[in-house]
Amino acid sequence: MKPAALVTGGNRGIGRGIVLALAQRGFDVVVNDLTRTDDTEATLASAQRHGANAAFVPGDIADIGAHHALVEAVFAAFGRLDCLVNNAGVQVKVRGDMLDVTPESFDRLVGVNLRGTFFLTQAIVKRMLWQPPAEHPRSIITISSVNAVVASVNRAEYCISKSGLTMMTKLFSARLAQAGICCYEIRPGLIHTDMTAPVRERYDQMIAEGVSPIRRWGQPEDIGRAVAMLAAGELSFSTGEAVHVDGGLNLRLL
């Protein structure tokens, strides 16, 4: 039986890059997003062209009351789940002075990026622990950001939500190691997606000026390859680790 993975926020962008990389590595994939759109159809079709069985399960990860139904639908798709990729997340609606952050913006970012991700992971893990012993490596892979450790004062609530995912990953890794489930965090840098489109020109200049040693935009497939490597068990003696996929943006240079 092929391993199965769930990718939240999988319709497009980084999510699509992850879905396709997992399909290429032999996974069947459940794509989750808010609604089924033309982007969904394109992602599912691409995964199928790579030999994967692909299914779509709609759902808002911030809606904790709907998690039970979402989880049951995910496990019903292929009868089991071997990898959860926590990719769904939102960016700030307005970049600006952190002294102007509103409770509404803060609650939205934390509600989706951290609270929703934590409780969905909790629900998925409980269900994973019921299933028969795995033939394949099992993993929880959470997409955070370089902003888990790099401060952007114009997006304070985003940084706070992502930094929480770092500790979440460590906690789940400690809790699940004996069950054979490894947990990892991936910290993307500047990735060329719709989310970064509003600041594309500014980041183009920063990249050209050497904000990261590798002077190019990251692409969704860069993140996808890292996820597929971890999901395939290629770092099976590691857990709780953060993998930077950021062109070296995290490096301290003198």
Nearest by Cα to 188 from 113, 139, 242, 121: 242
Q: Provide the domain limits for residue 142.
A: 4-244
Quick: pLDDT tens for 125-151.
Answer: 999 999 887 789 999 999 999 999 999
Rounded mean pLDDT, 241-248? 97
What residues contact residue 125 under an 8 Å CB cut-off, 6+ apart?
A: 84, 140, 172, 176, 181
Query: Is residue 253 domain-resident?
Result: no
Amino acid at 197: A
Specify if 254 maps to a domain.
Answer: no
- Number of domains into which the chain is organized: 1
- CATH at residue 19: 3.40.50.720
Among 27, 75, 158, 172, the one annotated catalytic: 158
Angle between helices 13-24 and 220-231 (to 10 degrees): 40
Q: Do the domain assignments include residue 122?
A: yes
Contacts of 99 (CB under 8 A, 6+ apart): none
Query: Is residue 203 annotated as part of the catalytic site, yes or no?
Result: no
For residue 196, the model assigns a pLDDT of: 81
Q: What is the β-pairing status of strands 241-245 and 54-58?
A: unpaired
Q: Which residue has the tokens 């496990």?
A: 75
Residue 236 lies in a domain: yes
Inform me whether the pLDDT recorded for 197 exceeds 90: no
Residue 193 has pLDDT above 90, yes or no: no
Query: Can you give the pLDDT at residue 134?
Result: 74
